[in-house]
Each structure stands twice: as C-alpha cells, then as structure tokens.
Amino acid sequence: MKRVGIIGIGHGVFGRRSDATVQELAFEAFRDALDDAGIERDLIDASVIGSVPEYHKQRSLAGVVQEYLGLVPKPTWLTEVACASGSAAMRTGWMAIRAGLHQVVAIIGCQKMTELSTAEILALMGRVGEVQWESGFGTTFPGYYAMFAKRHMHEYGTTREQLLEVAVKNHFYGAKNPYALFRKEISAEKAMASEEVATPFQVYDCCANADGAACVILAGEDQAKEISDKPVWLDGVAAATASMSVLRRPHLVGLPSAEQAATEAYAMAGIEPTDVKVAQVHDCFTVAEIMAYEDLGFCGKGEGGPFVTDRQTYIGGQVAVNVDGGLKAKGHPIGATGVSMTYEIAKQLRGEAGERQVPDADVGLTHNVGGIGQYCFVQVLKRD
Amino acid sequence: MFKWFGKVNYTPYTKVSDFAQHLRDGRLMGSRCSRCGATSFPPRADCEECLSGDFEFFEVSGRAKLHTFTKIVAAPTGFEDVAPYLVGVVDLEEGGRALAWFGDSIAEDEVEIGMDLQVVPRIFEESEEIKVYYSLEPPGTTWSKT
C-alpha cells in the first residue's frame, strides 16, 4: 500500500478571537498551509472539517467553511468525536487517499468556543458525561479527570507536585510558541496557589477553552514526493473507544482507548514506544498527560509522575512531550486540537521548530482524546 | 417516571423507567437479562451479552466500596445552589458501579478510597415535584424519605 504524506501545514493564533468568525479562523490556517505546500488551491480535491458543532451558532459548519475557503464545488464533510474531532478528520482524509477516491485533501480543524455565553457554557458543561446515570449528580469535565487523578494518586502514590510539574513544563514551552494562548512561564508555587476547581484540581491543572484553527494538507505517496521536498509520512493512524460511562470502565487510572489505539498505531508504523522522539499528548488536565505517558508505553504503569519530575519529557529527556505548550498553555479549541498536534509534529520532523526544536526528531506521535477517553486517536509520523 | 431521577434530568424517557418508581419506594434496582441471566447496574433494558430485549429488575443491596471521588467546586447549570458537593464512584457488592453524592452523614475529611459505604435511595426534601436520587452513606444506613 502507498503511504500518505503531509505536504503543507498551517496554524492560526489560539486564544479569545473576538476579531473573527470560525470560517475566518479556518481561512488563516488554510492560507498558511497552501503557502507552505507551495501549491495552487485547485489541486485540492476535497476537504475534511474537524469541529464540534454545539459551540457554533452556524449549523452544519463544513458548508460555510468550504465556501469561505473557495473550495466549492469540491466535496467536504465534518467529523465529530468531541475533543478528538480534528484527528478524526485526519484519519478520514487518510482513508479517502488510501481508497484512491481523492488525491490531495485539506484537513481543517477549527473551533470558536467563545461565541457562547457563560451560561450556555455552564449548561454544556453539565452534559459532558453520560447523561442518564451521571449528569443528574452535577458531574463536570474537570470532575471526571479529578476522579482519575484521585485514583491514580491512591494506587501509585502520584503527588500534587508531580501533577503540577506537567503544567509547569507545558507553560515553559508555551512561552516559546507564537500561536499559544498563554505565553508565560509559571512556577509550581503559583500553580499550587490557584483556585480549586474539583479536588485535587486547581485552575492550573486545567486547560482553557480557546478559539483557533489549524490545517494540514495530505497527498498520496507519489504526489507528495513530487510536490514536497520534505514530506512527513503518516504511517500510523489508529483509533479506539472506551465506554461513555465511567461506571463501565475496566479501570479509572488510564484510558483503555488510548492503550489500544497506541498498540495499533505502533504496529501499523512498525515502531516501538521507545522510538518516539517527540510527542503531542492530550493534556486537557495535568493527570491526563501523566496517564498518556503510561498508556502510550513511554514509561510503566504508575510511573508517569516520576517520569515528568525526572524531566524525561522535557527536551533532552527520553521523549519530548508537548513542547508547543500542549493544550494547557497553547489553549484547546477542541476541533482544532488534533490538527494542531499534527502541525507541531510535522514542524519538528522537518527540523523547523526553532527554539523548541527536539534534536534528531525522526519519529513523532500524536495522542488526541475525545471526551473523557470515549475516543482516542494515535498517529505515528515519520520523515525520510 | 424516569423524569423523577436526578436533580436535573436529561433523559425522561427510557425502557428502564420503573427504576425511579422503585427508588421512590426505597429499593435500588439492577437489571437481569431474562434469557442469559447477565446482570447490570445501572440497569439496562437490552442485554449487552446476548442482545435479548427481555429483562427484569432485581434489588441490589447497595453495599459498596468507594472507588474514587472528587469535590466539585465549579458547578454546571442547575447545581450552583448545592456547590461545592462531593461526588463518588462506588463498586457495588453485586457488581457494577454507581456514581452519587455523599450524604451529610459523612464529613469530607473522613472520605477515603476503599471505605465501605451504603448507597441509599433518597427523595429531595425541598422539591415540590417528586425528585429521587441516591446518596453514599455509612454502612447500615437505611432508607429515609428525605
């Protein structure tokens, strides 16, 4: 089977973008990616939009984005799997190329989260879990991950200091990313002094909602080699699910969907976890990054806490993780996140990441989680 | 009458609607598949194992161990008036899990993963319409109407 390559990447500024509609955000990333690929827009024969519809006033978002990008009458479709919607768009674009249906596909992850009022956000927040048996007790997104954290601390002795080191690391690198929402380093003391959200979490354990977009242009192997002198190959594109309800999970100290998607992605790409030099993982909450280290096999189960405090996930450690700031510092426009992760890995593998470049980065990985682990997408990327 | 279940109810219509009626009467019910006997808590009408749509309710003891918990400070719509509140996930003695609030009978600093608890059917005291739920209480606590 022929490979699928990344020939162009684009990214907009993440943050409170009161200056733009969602299609205008998508346009920034798309123009950037076209320019990066050095191709004419006509060469693109389909687009896939990753986004979560309930945040937008505009219904059926793919249509308005397609129009604004000037891609009509080419086909487009939307993928939605909560915070992993961008990676689902990547995966269906990959499928369309592998199936021979399309040759060059633009993947656009875009999201405006600040169109909604605080009241609307709070109402949505009450329905992130399984609504029949859980939401009636006022569960929240941070609340679920807080319960994972409590159990992880109980079983493995993971500490508050270890959890908050994730936030400190990601802010350290976020300060170096021009697209990040928070471009400021933080201290552990400052994180420890922030307001309580859901015990043991404080504000600095949580990522922030944001507006933003990212774009990746994919092409089949032959065309990718023709167009690009530095294609990045999408060699593993695995996905898996876990139960919607935490009442039906085999355990609450990791994400079974991530364990499975990782195993399949490594097999697809023919690599081992230790081959990964740079990774983007879904750090929606501090414990989520620690569980990701373990679920992805970067360290053993329960060793994620010491793994970060031993600086194994800083540049120079075993595997550099979230050196673009992660969701924590970069911001989390949910539909855009998976594509933004892919953008950063492509940048790293091309050796273009500037002051946050990971030396000798030849194999990279993305780990994008939807909801509280109901969905997980793991990609393995390589350079020639 | 599943609309009775929960402080805020998002799913008034379900095939296991009688669960709420039983809860009002002080019984915590799981489901058992009439064909293969597989059991579930929370109850489900359609068997996950053999796909049969025939089931019956059976009463569970409510005896449970705390699996994990959190105190939610930032509350969603409909829960602002009760925040902060302690939420726990428990492993039930008969299998399955429940997610519920801790009752006032347990102080926050007594809460510990692994502790024995009782899942107790409850009716909201202050509500005019019928509103039922269950809470996590010390072992041996019996059903009280409020």
Q: What are the residue boundaries of the structural domains of chain B, listed by start?
A: 2-59, 63-137
Q: Does the annotation count A332 as an active-site position? A: yes
**Residue A98's pLDDT band (boundaries 50, 70, 90)?**
very high
Average model confidence (pLDDT) for chain A? 97
pLDDT in tens, chain B (146 residues): 899 999 999 999 999 999 999 999 999 999 999 999 999 999 999 999 999 999 999 999 999 999 999 999 999 999 999 999 999 999 999 999 999 999 999 999 999 999 999 999 999 877 778 899 999 999 999 987 65
Contact of B116 with B65, CB cutoff 8 Å: yes
C-alpha B115/C-alpha B108 separation (Å) is 13
Whether the ipTM is more than 0.90: the answer is yes
Contact of A107 with A90, CB cutoff 8 Å: yes
Q: Which two tokens stand for residue B59?
A: 């009463």
Q: What is the pLDDT of residue A117?
A: 85
Contact of A347 with A28, CB cutoff 8 Å: no
Q: What is the pLDDT of residue B145?
A: 63
Report, as an integer, the average pLDDT of A218-230: 97
Contact of B116 with B139, CB cutoff 8 Å: yes
Q: What is the DSSP string of B16-55?
A: TTHHHHHHHTT--EEEEETTT--EESS--SS-TTT----E
Chain A residues with CB under 8 Å of B97 CB are: 246-248
Which H or E run includes B120? strand B116-123
Chain B residues with CB under 8 Å of A154 CB are: 68, 113-114
Q: Do A138 and B72 touch (CB under 8 A)?
A: yes
Q: What is the pLDDT of residue B124?
A: 87
Q: What is the pLDDT of residue B125?
A: 76
Give contacts of A 182-201 with B, CB under 8 A: 195-200
Model confidence at A173: pLDDT above 90: yes
Q: Is B72 left (phi over 0), alpha (psi -120 to 50) or beta?
A: beta
Contact of A83 with A337, CB cutoff 8 Å: yes
Q: Do B85 and A148 touch (CB under 8 A)?
A: no
Q: Which two tokens stand for residue A273?
A: 């976890």
Q: What is the DSSP string of A33-54?
A: HHHHHT--GGG--EEEEE--GG
Q: Which of A11, A56, A332, A367 is catalytic?
A: A332
C-alpha A189/C-alpha A301 separation (Å) is 27
pLDDT (tens digit per residue) in B32-71 = 999 999 999 999 999 999 999 999 999 999 999 999 999 9
- Contacts for B126 with CB less than 8 Å, ≥ 6 apart: none
* Three-state secondary structure call for residue A258: helix
User: Within 13 A of A183's CA, how many CA atoms are on the CB side?
Assistant: 8
Q: From residue A341, how far is each of A323, A326, B97 by CA, in Å? A: 10, 8, 35
Q: What is the pLDDT of residue A121?
A: 86
CA distance A144 to chain B (A): 8
Q: CB contact, 8 Å: A341 with chain B?
A: no
Q: Does the annotation count A83 as an active-site position? A: yes
Q: Which of A118, A127, A135, A246 to mutate to test the interface with B (most CBs of B within 10 A)?
A: A135
* Three-state secondary structure call for residue B73: coil
Which H or E run includes B65? strand B63-72
Chain B residues with CB under 8 Å of A247 CB are: 42, 89, 96-99
Report, as an integer, the average pLDDT of A268-290: 98
Q: What is the pLDDT of residue B146?
A: 54
CA distance B29 to chain A (A): 13
Contact of A207 with A283, CB cutoff 8 Å: yes
Instruction: Say how far residue B79 (Cα) sits from the centre of its chain.
Output: 17
Q: What is the pLDDT of residue A92?
A: 98
Cβ contacts from A onto B, under 8 A: 112
pLDDT (tens digit per residue) in A317-361 = 999 999 999 999 999 999 999 999 999 999 999 999 999 999 999
Taking CA A305 as the corner, what is the angle to CA A303 and CA A307, rounded to the nearest 5 degrees?
Answer: 65
Q: Is A120 left (phi over 0), alpha (psi -120 to 50) or beta?
A: alpha
* Three-state secondary structure call for residue A349: helix
Q: Which two tokens stand for residue A378?
A: 């793991």
Q: Do B74 and A147 touch (CB under 8 A)?
A: no
Count of C-beta atoms within a 10 Å radius of residue A384: 11
Contact of A248 with A242, CB cutoff 8 Å: no
Q: Which of B87, B102, B127, B132 to mutate to test the interface with A (most CBs of A within 10 A)?
A: B87
Q: Do B69 and A154 touch (CB under 8 A)?
A: no
* Homologous superfamily in CATH for domain A4-117+211-227: Thiolase/Chalcone synthase (3.40.47.10)
C-alpha B123/C-alpha A313 separation (Å) is 50
Which one-letter DSSP state was computed for residue A195? P
Nearest CA in chain A to B10: A131
Q: CB contact, 8 Å: A142 with chain B?
A: yes
Q: Which of A11, A83, A206, A207 is catalytic?
A: A83
CATH number corresponding to B63-137: 2.40.50
Q: Which residue has the tokens 């697809």?
A: A268
Which one-letter DSSP state was computed for residue A358? P
C-alpha A103/C-alpha A116 separation (Å) is 37
Q: Which residues of A351-382 are buried (b: 16+ CB within 10 A; e: fewer)?
A: eebeebbbeebbbbbbbbbbbbbbbbbbbbbb
Where in chain A are the domains? 4-117+211-227
Instruction: Say how far residue B104 (Cα) sits from the centre of its chain.
Output: 16
Helices (H), chain A: 22-37, 61-68, 85-98, 118-125, 141-156, 160-174, 188-192, 221-227, 256-269, 286-295, 304-309, 326-330, 334-349
